[in-house]
């Protein structure tokens, strides 16, 4: 079972790190570079595209479900996770580290955990991080909704 988990996580990580598809009309490999485009001033942050919670959760469904009564997957069912003690969802085999973490999931705890799971709870089995703050916020709002 552990081997299957490692393979599934490896495939998920590989899928999440794929390079974007080329843009139609973009220069092909080996062609001369296009004229440089002026960069935005350093004081103007790039706009973050709006993402829905459902879109943010799409990368999680390989391991987690969010529907009440849905079975556990490679990761625990996340229905009602906000307000729940970490490692307490019945029927899921959590890591000893997460069980002993004494965390009660709220927005701040979820944000820190999703940003860097192994840093927030050393020894956790979750290896996928959500580095984009906007995506984490959308995901937390989605998990908080009934």
Query: pTM for the whole thing?
Result: 0.67
Task: Tell which residue, 108, 103, 144, 143, has the closest CA to residue 123.
Answer: 103
DSSP string, 37-92: PPPPPTTSPPPPPP--HHHHHTTTTTT---STTPPP-SS---TT-TTSBTT--TT-
pLDDT at position 10: 45
Give me the chain's average pLDDT, please. Answer: 79
Which pLDDT tens digit goes with each residue over 76-130? 999 999 999 999 998 899 999 999 999 999 999 999 999 999 999 999 999 999 9
Phi, psi dihedrals of residue 85, rounded to the nearest 5°: -70, 135
146: pLDDT confidence band, cut at 50, 70 and 90?
A: confident
Comparison of pLDDT for 146 and 53, the residue scoring more:
53
Give the pLDDT mean for 14-30.
46
């Amino acid at each position: 079972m552990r081997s299957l988990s490692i393979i599934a996580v490896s495939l998920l990580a590989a899928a999440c790190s794929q390079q974007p598809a080329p843009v139609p009309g973009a220069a092909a490999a080996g062609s001369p570079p296009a004229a440089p485009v002026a960069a935005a001033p350093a004081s103007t942050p790039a706009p973050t595209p709006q993402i829905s919670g459902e879109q943010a959760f799409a990368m999680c469904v390989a391991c987690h479900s969010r529907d009440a009564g849905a079975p556990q997957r490679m990761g625990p069912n996340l229905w009602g996770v906000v307000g729940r003690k970490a490692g307490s969802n019945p029927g899921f085999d959590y890591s000893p580290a997460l069980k002993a973490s004494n965390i009660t999931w709220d927005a701040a705890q979820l944000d820190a955990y999703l940003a860097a799971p192994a840093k927030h709870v050393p020894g956790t089995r979750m290896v996928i991080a959500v580095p984009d703050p906007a995506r984490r916020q959308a995901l937390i709002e989605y998990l908080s909704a009934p």
